[in-house]
């Protein structure tokens, strides 16, 4: 090995590794070790590139570096003949203890040395160089440094659903390029589902001649209609598919960048498109009637193994994802063929019937040298231990699978669904629901607390999922995936003890330049102010915290009802308020207001702490129990935040003041999110009583929000009770849509 390089490595390994907060290389994910040095290297017009034989193919990737231009790659035939200058891709010497998955980069005035034991690690070294080229204002000059790094998890995935909306290969290459820059190494390609089949299967041409084409462009319109498929070439057909050659091309493109593509072929549920064109594979035999394969029909398994045989020929990945989630199972209970299968195989219920099918497919894949990967429902009813589980419903499913000895990839809905809102839903494009800001992604740890210590080895890694029900365009995919994918990258790569949100946020600022240079339509930090209120029942006060997604925001606020201006105070610490107050706030930059005025009413009302009687109990969403509706705490923009109380029956509650009180007003707020089955009640009525038995209705206010409104909506019902006196206040809100109704606080003055 070159003497200079050996000396630098020795200094590096024996030195104190300074933190990223102190250096000028804001790499994401954060390297485990970094030592900045004096000097720099400037990429010449033509650079000499040399590599050990095993790295010559990886070295070709340098041609995509914007400042690396070379004619050919020199083969390094001996460790004693490493060139003094240029870019060198080399293996460590025998005394170097560089790990199998680790890489090292050494930059000095003479050039760049990339050191690794394997192609996989060397690709990561090259990609780090690539990222640096786009991060710096002048990427042609690199400061001198020595860096060493290795991943925490072997599986660092990003998913894309191309069934609900189809995206061209050209975009998928861009998606993979971005994944590679951030060392995400698994692309989970969700190729089939009810809205459209997306991969050519030569033995079953109807899958792409018809099942790939639906009668509506957007998924939500198709779902709201009769859900029909059209023939390719029909003027109203919408969709598309990938030929096997296109898929192979993408597989090779990804592999060059260190990324494995795992295909997902859904079964036994989510198969409406298949059964519309091959209805003999359903329990009814009728097109458009079933969404689940008939598991009592041998032809079903012939079809599935035929399809998987062609899939395996296209995708060399170790894993094949078969879905396995959300099967309806209703048809199986009545189907003679399925019932006979259960009898023949001694299966006690339809859960075991599904497990029979999953295990049978698993054995087939194993015979082909592959491993089965599926969503966490596949563990219901029993599962062969060699199958790998991807947990989507929550951490519990992943923990259960790991504790049973299954390998697990964590992808829980609450932390890893990039189709959730990332900012305030009132100001965002329509999404699936839920709230997943970038910090929540960053803070997640895939090693769930419920996983036993000796089973944690089964957690292979983590994956972010991009389901595209409400994501019809490539620009919208980018908006939902980035920059959250950067937080996923560091969470999946870096050791927990090196993670720090403030440090990450600081480095993230440099990556907006990268995303802009690569023309990524990423989510921009909101210009709204977040106003958070916490009620202190001891002090009888509200603690108000102001925040924003902007980096180091300047927030001006008022508590006198007026809009903030340049003379308003700058927020520096939480405000403690001892009376009901309207708080207003806005972002400022260089003395100019740059965002809207946001406001929130704090309430210290007379019902706080009073006893609440529930004529109908809450259901599933208890919030803070029987004190929730009068605890002084209001809910946020997510009905699952622990402050919204949910009811599947009519809301019917009574607040007991313990003595007759003069009343001024009653108000309460509801939330609507149609796709989650959450609706505003049909009306709200307020009644009062002196004895708790005989009530007088004061007023009923009808709801004017359409049940068809799909965007997140809030509605407050305000009642004037001036001149009224009573001990008991009763609130009734009928659940007219038979879904959930949620309210957060009953405010009474």
Active site residues: 193, 270, 326
Query: How far is Cα 420 from Cα 432, in angstroms, rounded to an integer?
Result: 6
Strand partners for 390 = 375, 409
On the 0-12 / 13-18 / 19+ scale of CB atoms within 10 A, 176 is buried
DSSP conformational letter for 708: T
Torsion of the alpha carbons at 598, 603, 609 and 610, rounded to the nearest 10: -120
**How far apart, in whole angstroms, are the C-alpha atoms of residue 280 and residue 337?**
12
| Angstrom distance (rounded) from CA 178 to CA 489 | 11
CA–CA distance, 519 with 659 (Å, rounded to integer): 65
484: closest CA among 420, 546, 433, 431?
420
- Assess contact for 357 and 346: CB atoms under 8 A: no
Both structure tokens of 723: 């001149």
Rounded to 5 degrees, φ, ψ at 122 are: -65, -40
Q: Which residues pair with 353 in a beta bridge?
A: none
Question: Where would I find the beta strands (DSSP E) of 153-252?
Answer: 155-161, 186-190, 192-193, 196-197, 213-214, 238-239
Reduce the DSSP state of residue 240 to 3 states and report it: coil
Please provide residue 125's backbone torsions phi and psi, each rounded to the nearest 5 degrees: -65, -45
CB 198 within 8 A of CB 163: yes
- Alpha-carbon separation of residue 35 from 13, 656, 664 (angstroms): 10, 66, 67
**Contact between 226 and 204 (Cβ < 8 Å):** no
Tokens standing for residue 311:
């899939």
User: Which residues, 6 or more positions from 454, have their beta carbon under 8 angstroms from its beta carbon?
Assistant: none
Kindly provide the residue ranges of all beta strands, DSSP E only, lying in 300-370, ordered along the sequence. Answer: 319-323
Taking the alpha carbons at both ends of the chain, their separation in whole angstroms is 80
Residue with tokens 């298949």: 274
Q: Characterize the bridge pairing of strands 73-76 and 49-52.
A: parallel
Query: What is the rounded CA–CA span in Å between residue 702 and residue 710?
Result: 19
3-state secondary structure of 395: helix
Q: By the 8 A CB rule, do 580 and 605 touch?
A: yes
- In which residue are the tokens 């009769």 written? 226
Q: List residues bridging with 747 in a β-sheet.
A: 667
Query: The tokens 């740059």 sit on which residue?
Result: 594
Collapsing DSSP to helix, strand or coil, 176 comes out as: helix
- Sign, CA dihedral 265-267-272-278, equals positive
Q: What does the block give as tokens for 517?
A: 């240079």
Work out the angle at residue 439's Cα, subtended by the Cα atoms of residues 433 and 445, and round it to the nearest 5 degrees.
95
> Which residues have CB under 8 Å from 381's CB, separation 6+?
349, 351, 352, 353, 354, 355, 356
Which residues are bridge partners to 75 per DSSP?
51
Phi-psi region of 692 (alpha: psi -120 to 50; beta: other; left: phi over 0): left
What is the C-alpha separation between 603 and 599, in angstroms, rounded? 13
Distance CA 37, CA 32 (A): 17
Cα-to-chain-centroid distance, residue 667:
35
Kindly compute the dihedral angle of the four CA atoms of residues 301, 307, 309, 313, in this order, to the nearest 10 degrees: -170
DSSP-assigned letter for residue 436: -
């Amino acid at each position: 090995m070159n003497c200079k390089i050996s000396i630098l490595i020795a200094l590096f390994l024996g030195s104190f590794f300074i933190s990223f907060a102190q250096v000028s290389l804001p790499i994401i994910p954060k390297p485990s070790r970094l030592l900045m040095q004096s000097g720099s290297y400037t990429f010449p017009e033509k650079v000499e590139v040399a590599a050990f034989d095993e790295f010559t193919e990886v070295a070709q990737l340098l041609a995509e570096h914007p400042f690396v231009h070379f004619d050919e790659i020199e083969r390094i035939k001996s460790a004693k003949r490493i060139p003094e200058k240029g870019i060198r891709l080399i293996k460590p010497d025998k005394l170097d203890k560089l790990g199998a998955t680790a890489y090292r980069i050494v930059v000095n005035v003479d050039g760049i040395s990339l050191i690794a034991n394997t192609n996989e690690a060397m690709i990561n070294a090259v990609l780090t160089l690539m990222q640096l080229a786009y991060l710096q204002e002048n990427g042609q000059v690199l400061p001198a440094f020595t860096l060493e790094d290795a991943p925490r998890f072997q599986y660092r995935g990003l998913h894309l659903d191309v069934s609900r909306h189809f995206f061209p290969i050209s975009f998928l290459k861009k998606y993979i390029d971005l994944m590679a820059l951030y060392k995400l190494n698994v692309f989970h390609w969700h190729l089939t589902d009810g809205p459209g089949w997306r991969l050519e299967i030569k033995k079953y041409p109807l899958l792409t001649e018809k099942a790939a084409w639906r009668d509506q462009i957007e998924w939500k319109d198709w779902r709201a209609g009769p859900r029909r498929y059209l023939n390719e070439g029909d003027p109203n057909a919408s969709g598309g598919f990938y030929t096997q050659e296109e898929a192979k091309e993408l597989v090779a493109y990804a592999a060059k960048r260190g990324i494995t593509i795992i295909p997902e072929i859904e079964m036994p549920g989510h198969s409406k498109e298949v059964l519309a064109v091959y209805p003999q594979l359903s329990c009814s035999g009728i097109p458009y009637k079933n969404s689940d394969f008939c598991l009592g029909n041998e032809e079903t398994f012939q079809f599935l193994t035929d399809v998987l045989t062609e899939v395996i020929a296209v995708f060399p990945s170790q894993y094949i994802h078969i879905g396995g989630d959300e099967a309806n199972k209703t048809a199986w209970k009545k189907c003679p063929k399925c019932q006979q299968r259960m009898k023949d195989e001694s299966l006690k219920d339809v859960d075991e019937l599904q497990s029979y099918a999953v295990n049978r497919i698993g054995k087939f894949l194993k015979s082909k040298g592959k491993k089965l990967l599926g969503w966490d429902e596949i563990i219901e009813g029993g599962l062969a231990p060699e199958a790998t589980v991807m947990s989507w419903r929550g951490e519990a499913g992943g923990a259960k699978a790991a504790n049973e000895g299954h390998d697990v990839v964590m992808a829980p809905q609450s932390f890893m669904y990039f189709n959730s809102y990332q900012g305030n839903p009132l100001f965002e494009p329509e999404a699936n629901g839920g709230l997943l800001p970038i910090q929540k992604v960053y803070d997640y740890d895939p090693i769930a607390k419920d996983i036993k210590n000796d089973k944690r080895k089964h957690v292979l890694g983590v994956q972010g999922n991009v389901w595209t029900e409400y994501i019809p365009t490539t620009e919208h995919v980018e908006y939902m995936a980035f920059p959250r994918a950067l937080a996923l990258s560091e969470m999946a790569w870096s050791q927990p003890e090196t993670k720090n949100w403030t440090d990450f946020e600081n480095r993230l600022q440099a990556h907006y330049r990268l995303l802009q240079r690569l023309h990524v339509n990423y989510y921009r930090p909101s210009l709204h102010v977040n106003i958070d209120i916490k009620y202190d029942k001891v002090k009888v006060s509200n603690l108000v915290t102001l925040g924003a997604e902007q980096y180091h925001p300047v927030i001006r606020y008022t508590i006198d009802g007026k809009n903030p201006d340049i003379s308003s105070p700058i927020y520096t610490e939480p405000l403690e308020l001892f009376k009901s107050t309207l708080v207003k706030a806005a972002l400022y930059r260089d003395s100019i207001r740059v965002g809207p005025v946001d406001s929130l009413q704090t309430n210290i009302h007379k019902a706080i702490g009073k006893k609440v009687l529930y004529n109908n109990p809450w259901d599933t969403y208890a919030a803070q129990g029987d004190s929730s509706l009068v605890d002084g705490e209001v809910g946020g923009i997510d009905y699952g935040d622990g402050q919204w109380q949910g009811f599947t029956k009519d809301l019917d509650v009574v607040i007991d003041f313990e003595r007759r009180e003069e009343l001024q007003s009653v108000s309460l707020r509801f939330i609507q999110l149609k796709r989650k089955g959450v609706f505003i009640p049909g009306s709200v009525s307020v009644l009062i009583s002196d004895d708790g038995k005989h009530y007088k209705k004061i007023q009923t206010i009808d709801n004017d929000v359409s049940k068809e409104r799909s965007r997140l909506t809030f509605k407050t019902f305000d009642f004037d009770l001036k001149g009224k006196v009573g001990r008991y206040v009763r609130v009734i809100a009928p659940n007219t849509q038979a879904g959930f109704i949620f309210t957060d606080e009953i405010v009474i003055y």
